[in-house]
Amino acid sequence: MNRMKKGLSNASASVLAILAGLLAGFVILLISNPANAFQGLVTILKGGWNNGMKGMGQVLYFATPIIMTGLSVGFAFKTGMFNIGAAGQLMIGGFVSVYVGMTWTFLPGHLHWIVALLMGMLAGMVWGMIVGLFKALLNVNEVITSIMLNYVGMYLVNFSIKNSHLYDPLKNQTADVAASAIIPKGGLDELFYVTKGRLKDASSVNAGIFIAIGFAILIYIILTRTTFGYELKACGLNRHASRYAGISEKRAIISAMAIAGGLAGVAGALMYLAPSRGMHIHVEEVLAAQGFNGIAVALLGLSNPIGIIFTGLFVAHITEGGRHLQSLKYMKEIIEVIIGMIIYFSAFSLLVRDFLAGRARRRADSARDASAPIPEEAKE
């Protein structure tokens, strides 16, 4: 009961952030093209529904990687760390899974994509673990290492692609993975499609969304039910008390970053184990946006794995809606700005919430220092 109330009040902070972000977005729409502004807002809110069932499928498809990176950032948050390196972990994980997907064709068909996915996860774990090792053993701030490793990861991936048989020079991207390495559709293409004339135009959605939701549930169980999760949360909330209780802080930091990296690695695998018309790793000097969107998803979801499923779906929903803004003569960058606004406001709302909570706490503290027994005791 108490817990539910708390959850609701937390969710209301996120909802407020979203409303404020949408309002700011509306103002931007008004400025750039007043005539279509209201319809533009409706289009954004309609999201996937703008394009029927296919649109909805696309929402699930786009939500998949950002749910994973959201989990990655959120999990690190719970252990008191800011994983800003999800983009790099995603690239490394994606690359390794593509490599396995193309070359390990000796694997039996139904195992191939699973192994490719797991290897991508493993690669992400290694990439995340480096950050954890630096922090735990050398006390280097994780924000600095993970930002730097983003670029190291990106250039390493670009270099490896260009200098290998994985490269498709015509498209300046990776070649296609073996058919057996493609993430299965899981029957979702039979559900999410629109008909164009006599043709079925199916969404790109695949079983990845189930995998992402599965990971969210797994992370939720780890955090709330296991001693491991208890230790990680204790370290995140008060590392001094955790040491005092005999918890190895170093181990917690290293394993938390490894897991965060692994989750981002899975995001990469789910993105790039795709058919030839799906996503490929482009050789360009751009960090994967999904890595950074994960920060917004985690912030809006207050790092709660279940919350992250919903905020991931929401961000994908308005992104899909934004694509349709173009038909109203808006530039598609506008939607990026609006999402940026929502992210900004979500961070801001957390600040406000922490500020309010901090102030209430300080007042309670000063009242406690200065006055009679504090409320809890006074009630009795």
Partner 1 sequence: MSEYIIEMRDITKDFPGIRANDHVTLKLRRGEIHALLGENGAGKSTLMSILFGLYQQDGGEIYKNGQKVLVKDPNDANRLGIGMVHQHFMLVQNFTVLENIVLGVETTANGMLKMDQAREKVMRLSQQYGLAIDPDARIEDISVGMQQRVEILKMLYRDNEILIFDEPTAVLTPQEIDELMRIMKGLAAEGKSILFITHKLMEIKAVADRCTVLRKGALVGTVEVADTDVETMAEMMVGRKVNFNIQKDEATPGEAVLEVKNLSVAGHHGKNTVNEVSFQVRRGEIVCIAGIDGNGQSELIYALSGLLPIKSGQIILKGRDVTQASIRSRNVDGLSHIPEDRHKYGLVLDFDLGQNLALKNYFMPPMVQHGFINFPQVRRQADDLISRFDIRSGQGAETTARSMSGGNQQKAIIAREINTDPDILLAVQPTRGLDVGAMIYIHEQLVKERDQGKAILLVSLELDEVFQLADRILVIYEGNIVAELSGKETTAQELGLYMAGSRKEATA
Which of 179, 241, 331, 356 touches partner 1 (CB under 8 A)? Answer: 241
Nearest to 180 by CA among 255, 110, 275, 100: 110
- 380 in contact with partner 1 (CB under 8 A): yes
Q: Please give the helix or strand (H or E) that residue 171 lies within, else none.
A: none
Write the CB contacts of 105 (distance below 8 Å, at least 6 apart in sequence).
112, 178, 180
Written as six digits, the tokens of 73 are: 């950032």
- Number of residues engaging partner 1 in binding (CB under 8 A): 38
Residue number with CB closer to partner 1 (332 or 363): 363
Quote the least distance from Cβ 366 to partner 1, whole Å: 7
Which of 240, 277, 285, 286 touches partner 1 (CB under 8 A)? Answer: 240
Longest dimension (CA), the chain: 78
Quote the least distance from Cβ 235 to partner 1, whole Å: 9
Residue number with CB closer to partner 1 (196 or 379): 379
- 195 in contact with partner 1 (CB under 8 A): no
Nearest to 181 by CA among 105, 241, 279, 253: 105
- 151 in contact with partner 1 (CB under 8 A): no
Quote the least distance from Cβ 221 to partner 1, whole Å: 9
How far is CA 296 from each of CA 36, 178, 308, 355, rounded to the nearest angstrom? Answer: 28, 33, 10, 19
Quote the least distance from Cβ 364 to partner 1, whole Å: 7
Query: Interacting stretch for partner 1, rule CB under 8 A, among 35-43, 148-156, 255-263, 362-370?
Result: 362-370
Query: Interacting stretch for partner 1, rule CB under 8 A, among 67-75, 124-132, 210-218, 364-372?
Result: 364-372
- 364 in contact with partner 1 (CB under 8 A): yes
Residue pair 27/337 in contact by the 8 Å Cβ criterion: no
Residue pair 314/18 in contact by the 8 Å Cβ criterion: yes
Quote the least distance from Cβ 246 to partner 1, whole Å: 3
Quote the least distance from Cβ 299 to partner 1, whole Å: 18
Residue number with CB closer to partner 1 (23 or 241): 241
β-pairing, 173-174 vs 193-196, is unpaired
How far is CA 157 from each of CA 76, 208, 359, rounded to the nearest angstrom? Answer: 24, 23, 46
- 242 in contact with partner 1 (CB under 8 A): yes
- 4 in contact with partner 1 (CB under 8 A): no
Instruction: Provide the β-strand partners of residue 167.
Output: 174
Residue pair 55/48 in contact by the 8 Å Cβ criterion: yes
- 370 in contact with partner 1 (CB under 8 A): yes
Quote the least distance from Cβ 238 to partner 1, whole Å: 5
Query: Interacting stretch for partner 1, rule CB under 8 A, among 70-78, 141-149, 179-187, 237-245?
Result: 237-245
Residue pair 330/340 in contact by the 8 Å Cβ criterion: no
Which of 19, 27, 237, 351 touches partner 1 (CB under 8 A)? Answer: 237
d(Cα 65, Cα 77) in Å, to the nearest integer? 18
Residue pair 56/316 in contact by the 8 Å Cβ criterion: no
Task: Give the phi and the psi of residue 207 in degrees, each rounded to 5.
Answer: -65, -5
d(Cα 35, Cα 113) in Å, to the nearest integer? 49
- 2 in contact with partner 1 (CB under 8 A): yes
Which of 7, 104, 202, 233 touches partner 1 (CB under 8 A)? Answer: 233
Write the CB contacts of 220 (distance below 8 Å, at least 6 apart in sequence).
304, 305, 306
Q: How many CA atoms lie within 13 A of 232 on its CB side?
A: 26
- 228 in contact with partner 1 (CB under 8 A): yes
Quote the least distance from Cβ 230 to partner 1, whole Å: 6
Residue number with CB closer to partner 1 (329 or 368): 368
Which of 108, 169, 197, 246 touches partner 1 (CB under 8 A)? Answer: 246
- 368 in contact with partner 1 (CB under 8 A): yes
Query: Interacting stretch for partner 1, rule CB under 8 A, among 57-65, 209-217, 332-340, 372-380?
Result: 372-380
**Residues at the contact surface with partner 1, assessed by CB under 8 A:** 2, 225-228, 230, 233-234, 237-238, 240-248, 360-361, 363-364, 366-380
